[in-house]
Structure 1
């Protein structure tokens, strides 16, 4: 039979100073556990609801202060990425939250301790419990290290979605002029043209791309240059 970490063991491992152990225990309790253990008073769904709202608010505040020049649309997209199910599940994995989740036997045997939806829900419930026990400042202190690391990764992914901007930033950081895109060839019938473009930095060809429009071809060329120059790992392209 698997050993489930107690709420006290989890709190000690994460250096969380809970005053109300019942709150933490409830945060870790999935409804499937309640079905098999009628002595448990409540599952974590209400705490999950609260934690979701606390996360939305605190992530918005954190982003507002962390990126003072970022426009509203980008802030919204960043917040969505940081509170997305998969991202919150990754936070939960990082602290091995699955070890302490109280699940019904069937749910546990079906791999519930590593299921993204359950990890996300339990992480939200943990945030809700921490808020009720210690307030917003404690949640912010607990959450900030997660956000700091994840936000940089989210930004990098977002920047790779716009390879021309990323390539221009890199060129300027190296003391070069902005990249120059040159159309080398256009072929095909009017309704299905193909554009071939090279991108030059400091007079040297750094990438090549093709596409059904000049815009698509220049974007492809920028992405090729990013790969060739090793600006970001190939796995992110």
Structure 2
């Protein structure tokens, strides 16, 4: 039976990556290393290290690109706001979610044991591979190429990713924001409920200083309140920024 050479296997993996993402590695070995989980190196003769070093590099490249994007986009954000927002876009949960959506998890090289134990869907493995691929692209073609990939797979989804209220406590942030300015705590009100009992949707508004500054809907009161708080926080910060700009 014909057995693929190592070079052929590398080329096939690089071609699969090219079909998915439109980037052709000049050095396919970098891509293979980026997709090699440490479990794979003990059971195969690819003579490559695991992706852990590339993960380290990719983490820094990703952080830089996301930081620059947020810095330019949100001129009204202070350092704390930028840090919290960046943390959502670069954390393990986000990277794993994106990795599954774009199918990168299907390219990761795992041992058969790791595969059987669910490694291909494990968040830590997928997020590490995402960072390693970014690091590999940086070494292969530089910052511009890796930034283009980050824009394509993460920044293009940023609105959706940041709207995931499960990753951020917007109610807590809104309360902290108001208290730091000597204002009363926010007041949440369910204004309507729609749908059958088993699929009920709650519609909530939040009032700050007596005015409605945000609204949100969700399958639970908590989810709706989180979304209302997120909208209120964005509105209040934009308002504050506009007033500061006028003074300047």
- Would you say same fold, with TM above 0.5? yes
1:232 aligns with 216
Cα distance change of structure 1 residues 72 and 29 upon mapping to structure 2, 3 Å threshold: same
User: Secondary structure of the equivalent of 1:232?
Assistant: strand
Contact 2:203/2:218, CA 8 A, preserved across alignment: no
Cα separation, 2, equivalents of 1:68 and 1:147: 17
Q: Is the Cα contact below 8 Å between 1:82 and 1:151 reproduced in 2?
A: no
Is residue 128 from structure 1 mapped to residue 135 from structure 2 by the alignment? yes
Structure 1 CA distance, aligned partners of 2:119 and 2:169?
34
Matched, 1:147 2:141: no
Structure 1 residue aligned with 2:73: 66
What residue is the counterpart of 2:24 in the other structure? 17
Instruction: Tell me the secondary structure at the aligned position of residue 46 of structure 1.
Output: helix
Check 1:156–1:163 CA distance in 2 against 1; reply closer, same or farther (3 A cut): farther
Q: Unpaired runs of 5+ in structure 1?
A: 166-213
Runs of 4+ deviating beyond 4 Å: 162-165
Distance in structure 2 (CA, Å) of the matches to 1:40 and 1:150: 37
Partner secondary structure for residue 228 of structure 1 = strand
Shift of 1:37: 1.0
Aligned with 1:86 (options 87, 93, 114): 93
The DSSP-based 3-state class of the residue aligned with 1:36 is: coil
Relative to 1, partners in 2 of residues 1:71 and 1:148: Cα closer, same or farther, differing over 3 Å?
farther
* Paired residues of 2:89 and 2:161 also in contact (CA < 8 A): no
Distance 1:154 1:37, change over 3 A: same
Structure 1 residue 74, shift from structure 2 partner? 0.3
How big is each residue's C-alpha offset from its partner over 1:157-216, in whole Å with a ceiling of 9 and x where there is no partner?
Answer: 469537979xxxxxxxxxxxxxxxxxxxxxxxxxxxxxxxxxxxxxxxxxxxxxxxx83x
Inter-partner Cα distance in structure 2 for 1:106 and 1:31: 12
- Retained in 2: the 8 A contact 1:34–1:43? yes
1:151 deviates by 4.0
Q: Distance in 2 between matches of 1:156 and 1:118?
A: 21
Shift of 1:43: 1.1
Of the candidates 108, 113, 122, which is equivalent to residue 115 of structure 2?
Answer: 108
Q: TM-score, normalised by structure 1?
A: 0.68
**Structure-2 residue corresponding to 1:161:** 171
Contact 2:54 2:136 in 1 (8 A): yes
Q: SS at 1:24's partner residue? A: helix
Which structure has the larger Rg over C-alpha atoms? 1
Q: Call closer, same or farther: CA 1:229–1:91 in 2, change over 3 Å.
A: same
Aligned residue pairs, count: 181
Long gaps (5+) in structure 2? 1-11, 176-183, 193-201, 206-214, 225-248
C-alpha root-mean-square deviation of aligned residues, in Å? 2.6
Aligned positions of 1:22-33 closer than 5 A: 22-33=29-40
